[in-house]
Structure 1
Amino acid sequence: MIFYLGLVFIFSLLIFQAVNETSDCFLTNRVLEKYYLSTMYSLEFIVGAIGNTIVVFGYIFCLKKWKSCNIYLFNLSISDLLFLCTLPIVVNSYSQDQWAKEGILCHSNRFLLHANLYSSILFLMAISVDRYMLIKYPFREHVLQQRKTAVMVSIAIWIGVILELLPLLHFLEPLTPTNNYKCLDYASSGDPVTNLIYSLFLTVFGFLIPLLTMCCFYVKMVRFLKNRREQISSALTLEKPLSLVILTVVIFSLLFTPYHVMRNVRIASRIPALHVSECTQGIISTIYIITRPFAFLNSAINPVFYFLMGDHFREMLMAKARQLLGRLTSSGK
């Protein structure tokens, strides 16, 4: 995270200098898209692709007994990989400042980008609920801890996210000579008034409600721990799940909140009735662009949770690696 903040600081200095050298308020956006977005998305692709690929193959070949949390984590990694597969095209387009004229590629990228965002949020929420249920019912005796339930919840999340994002295709503008065949982002497309209504809908139902749900179960964990404080061994056992949920909520808020705030501000600034000046719109767009890679940084960070929250996943993965290494060594003799 510090590394990414350092990159943002460096790019901010370059952009500040560029703005001082020109009166074009939207020059900042072009500099950001060409250098900042392409760099950030490249790093996210490299780190995220390696981490999520290891996790997917680790679950497929190492995990013998799947539990509810494993199912949620596996779906989370699939969501991340689907999004990461679209990044090479995006990086190439931003770095070359030239987009392919196929509208399908543009719209599918934007759709998968938002599908990853909101499916990740919901799967992280489901994982938090599962962690609470594991604390309260350590022997997995509740119906919500059953694998069948986890599969049904995962399917419901995918269907819900797809239905939730279908209107997004209506707001995305087609690639035309007028916009120089540029693949506009969601906040820069469509009618700003109706677009703002839909953006607020996504913010409330796709972000705020899952966040409040996670916080609710975090509070439940705290209360449960206080009630079990006299049982020292149990309290110590429950400290790790609690710290992980706290970490999840903190990262969840830091990554997703700025993006949703600035997305709505960016759309609102485009409403003609508000009479926002062109330079002010450029500044708002600049801040919005800076927040975008951080919202999707979760795709690179999520594999950490596989190691921290998985049931002995790291041990199983290392054991499998040692087994394969042993076979390669013995066959080479």
Structure 2
Amino acid sequence: MNETDTCLVVNRALEKYYLTTTYSLEFIIGFVGNAIAVFGYTFCLKSWKSTNIYLFNLSLSDLLFLCTLPVIVNSYSKDEWGKESGLCHSNRFLLHANLYSSILFLTVISIDRYMLVKYPFRVHFLQKRKAALIISVAVWIGVILELLPLLYFLEPLTSDNNYRCLDYASSGDPRESLIYSILLTVSGFLIPLLIMCCFCVKMVLFLKAKNEQLSSLLTLEKPLTLVVLTMVISSLLFTPYHIMRNIRIASRISSLEVSRRKQGIINTAYIITRPIAFMNSAINPLFYFLMGDHFREMLVAKLRQLLRRLATAGK
């Protein structure tokens, strides 16, 4: 067996065992966490603030993505997709929609936290529920429009009478795909990340100016911690994926004359980064329980109330 065949076998093994295992864990952890969050926001919160609206949309985005994972896990475990290309395209589209909607909603949440710090005693117009609803709808429309070209590049591959659903980086003309991937990386990831960094710095500078007001500072440390945490997690999870996706597409350009062995190694690294990027769906529920508004207390109280009702009904 030559090195090219070895890389192919390794990549197939990664898809069959590594991707199925990591996606399965993300589904179990993420689905439970996001389902609890949706339940809490739907039945526990009586008064919704802008942050609640953004977090609710973030949890819905995660749930949509998580619902596609059983199909993806099943296809990789059997090393076949089926005969329905529409299912392949819809799964890939929802996967990327979750990725970029998550980044945008986390960015909006960072801005919202900064507004909370700067205007602690009054509601800024960006923090009003109507504005939050408009921004949320705009995020969804923007992500959908941004990802429509993705459908052009996705293509199923027929092999041995079975359909295999290629990921985006392995589909379409690599030259055109690389241009779109770079634009998507800049507009969907780098710009939102820079905005998060900007508001993190603005918050640090604002708190530094308020440093002498100790009581005020103590109440504002939590929003600062959350914004920094959001930025760090987004950088760690999303950066390796975007780097390797662009390198993977570029390696397929024939004029660059990248050997099959190197293409296999690059694809191996790219496969490893994929579930890491989508790990945000399992981590995002942490933000729902850390963003304040007594969410945890209300959720626990509601669960206790339901348990009491079940206990009473069982007697």
Normalised to the residue count of structure 1, the TM-score between the two structures is 0.92
Aligned partner of 2:239: which letter?
T
Give 2:170's aligned residue.
188
Give 1:284's aligned residue.
266
**Is the CA contact (8 Å cut-off) linking 1:19 and 1:28 kept in structure 2?**
no
Q: Aligned ranges for residues 234-273 of structure 1 at < 5 Å?
A: 234-273=216-255
Shift of 1:19: 9.4
Q: Distance in 2 between matches of 1:295 and 1:92?
A: 20
Q: Distance in 1 between matches of 2:301 and 2:143?
A: 36
> Given the alignment of the two structures, is residue 97 of structure 1 paired with residue 85 of structure 2, yes or no?
no
Shift of 1:178: 7.7
Q: Distance in 2 between matches of 1:332 and 1:259?
A: 50
1:63 alignment partner, SS class: coil
Normalised to the residue count of structure 2, the TM-score between the two structures is 0.97
Alignment counterpart, residue 27 of structure 1, candidates 9, 16, 25:
9
Shift of 1:23: 4.9
Alignment counterpart, residue 200 of structure 2, candidates 195, 213, 218:
218
Q: Distance in 2 between matches of 1:174 and 1:125?
A: 34
Give 1:164's aligned residue.
146
2:165 alignment partner, SS class: coil
How big is the alpha-carbon RMSD for the aligned residues of Structure 1 and Structure 2?
Answer: 1.6
Give 1:146's aligned residue.
128
Aligned partner of 2:108: which letter?
A
2:47 alignment partner, SS class: coil
Shift of 1:139: 3.0
Q: Aligned ranges for residues 252-331 of structure 1 at < 5 Å?
A: 252-331=234-313
Shift of 1:184: 0.1
Shift of 1:180: 4.2
- The 3 A distance-change label for structure 1 pair 170 and 128 is same
Q: Distance in 1 between matches of 2:286 and 2:2?
A: 38
Shift of 1:146: 0.3
Alignment counterpart, residue 23 of structure 2, candidates 15, 32, 41:
41
Q: Distance in 2 between matches of 1:328 and 1:181?
A: 48
Give 2:188's aligned residue.
206
Q: Distance in 1 between matches of 2:167 and 2:289?
A: 33
Q: Distance in 1 between matches of 2:122 and 2:294?
A: 16
Give 1:155's aligned residue.
137
1:159 alignment partner, SS class: helix
- The 3 A distance-change label for structure 1 pair 242 and 37 is same
**Is the CA contact (8 Å cut-off) linking 1:101 and 1:175 kept in structure 2?**
no
- The 3 A distance-change label for structure 1 pair 72 and 98 is same
- The 3 A distance-change label for structure 1 pair 329 and 178 is closer
Shift of 1:26: 1.4
Shift of 1:322: 1.4
Q: Distance in 2 between matches of 1:19 and 1:249?
A: 43
- The 3 A distance-change label for structure 1 pair 19 and 323 is farther
> Given the alignment of the two structures, is residue 230 of structure 1 paired with residue 216 of structure 2, yes or no?
no
**Is the CA contact (8 Å cut-off) linking 1:67 and 1:146 kept in structure 2?**
yes
**Is the CA contact (8 Å cut-off) linking 1:115 and 1:162 kept in structure 2?**
yes
Deviations 1:75-110 (A, max 9, x none): 000000000001001000101111111001100000
Deviations 1:253-297 (A, max 9, x none): 000000000000000000000000000000000000000000000
Shift of 1:240: 1.0
> Given the alignment of the two structures, is residue 114 of structure 1 paired with residue 88 of structure 2, yes or no?
no
Shift of 1:310: 3.9
**Is the CA contact (8 Å cut-off) linking 2:175 and 2:253 kept in structure 1?**
yes
Q: Distance in 1 between matches of 2:269 and 2:92?
A: 19
> Given the alignment of the two structures, is residue 58 of structure 1 paired with residue 31 of structure 2, yes or no?
no
Q: Distance in 2 between matches of 1:310 and 1:279?
A: 51
Give 1:14's aligned residue.
none
Aligned partner of 2:285: which letter?
P
Q: Distance in 2 between matches of 1:176 and 1:96?
A: 15
Q: Distance in 2 between matches of 1:45 and 1:140?
A: 39
Shift of 1:156: 0.2
Unpaired segments ≥5 residues, structure 1? 1-17
218-227 or 170-179, larger mean C-alpha shift: 170-179
1:132 alignment partner, SS class: helix
1:176 alignment partner, SS class: strand
Shift of 1:245: 1.1
Deviations 1:153-174 (A, max 9, x none): 0000000000000000000113
Aligned partner of 1:35: which letter?
Y
1:181 alignment partner, SS class: strand
